[in-house]
Amino acid sequence: LLTKAGPDATLVLSGDITFKGQQKGYDEATEAMRDTLNEFGLSSHRIIICPGNHDIVKLGERQPSFGAFDAWSAGIRNDKHCTFTATTCRQVVCESIDFLLLNSAYHGDITYGMVDFARLDEVLRDMGTMPVDGRVRVAVMHHHLIPVSADENSATRNAHGVLSRLAKHGFSVLLHGHQHMLLSLKVGDSAMQISGVGSFRYSTPGYVNSAAIHRMDANRGLSTEFFAVSKDSNEFLMSVKPNF
């Protein structure tokens, strides 16, 4: 996947690094990431990570902890720029992209997403209303914002506030996971691109493992290529179309 993306790739991991907070998942992810870094030569600072609902470890009935996630993230990046024990929202600068990382699992309930507006507004004030010097703004979170079925209730519950804030502050792209399916659509006057992706190693019938490569042109136009990840195909990565 990184070879297809090219030498200047940035790898975005949109949460659920492990399953139900298990340490075994982080250990396996560490081994996989280190192999990737060594083989491809990807700088650890080009890895962008936010937590998902499976990265929550409950210390008590209402005390979510992201300590295990933070330890894993800090070990992969060799810094604390993608850690979330001390904050629910972060800006991470990577080359010409300003990433906004949202912990949509910060509230500790594994059944739905929520964004901390108080902290988000602080970060957005520091960033300013619009991008400068031709930079691109990309938001990353785990939970999706738009439900895709009538009986689905795990979307981000304050999604409208998230979308309106991002559109107001000149974000071109919002990347998320959680749905276990591919999704691509544009919203608002600025046509901000929302792009969802499936899991990468989820061995459950009915779900297609997938990944995506996003490319930004000089005019901040986004093109996306989606891939299904299949061990049963002659081609391990199969180019596919999103659901929407």
Which of 172, 175, 158 lies closest to 52 in space, CA to CA? 175
Question: Which has more pLDDT, 183 or 125?
Answer: 125
Res 220: pLDDT: 67
| pLDDT value at 244 more than 60 | no
Radius of gyration of the chain (CA): 17
Res 243: pLDDT: 59
Q: Which two tokens stand for residue 98?
A: 């300003």
CA distance 120 to 194: 18
Res 107: pLDDT: 93
Which of 217, 220, 222, 224 lies closest to 241 in space, CA to CA? 224
- Tell me the backbone φ, ψ of residue 4, rounded to 5 degrees: -65, -35
| pLDDT value at 123 more than 90 | yes
Res 199: pLDDT: 85
Q: pLDDT band for position 236 (50/70/90)?
A: confident
| pLDDT tens digit sequence for 49-95 | 999 999 998 766 666 789 999 999 999 999 999 999 999 999 999 98
Give the DSSP per-residue string, 16-49.
Answer: --SSTT-HHHHHHHHHHHHHHHHHH---GGGEEE
Q: What is the mean pLDDT of residues 173-177?
A: 94
Distance of CA 4 to the CA centre of its chain: 20
Handedness of CA 221, 177, 233, 38 (dihedral sign): positive
Res 158: pLDDT: 97
Q: pLDDT band for position 228 (50/70/90)?
A: confident
Number of other CB atoms surrounding residue 109 within 10 Å: 14
Q: pLDDT band for position 103 (50/70/90)?
A: very high
Q: pLDDT band for position 187 (50/70/90)?
A: confident
| pLDDT tens digit sequence for 214-224 | 998 777 677 88
| pLDDT value at 135 more than 60 | yes
In this prediction, what percent of the chain has a pLDDT beyond 70?
Answer: 95
CA distance 147 to 155: 6
Res 73: pLDDT: 96
Q: What is the mean pLDDT of residues 28-33?
A: 92
Q: Are 211 and 197 in contact (CB under 8 A)?
A: yes
Res 61: pLDDT: 61
Start-end of H helices in 67-218:
67-77, 117-127, 159-168
Give the DSSP per-residue string, 50-88.
Answer: ---GGG-EEEETTEEE-HHHHHHHHHHHSSSTT--SS-S
- Tell me the backbone φ, ψ of residue 34, rounded to 5 degrees: -65, -40
Q: What is the mean pLDDT of residues 154-174?
A: 95
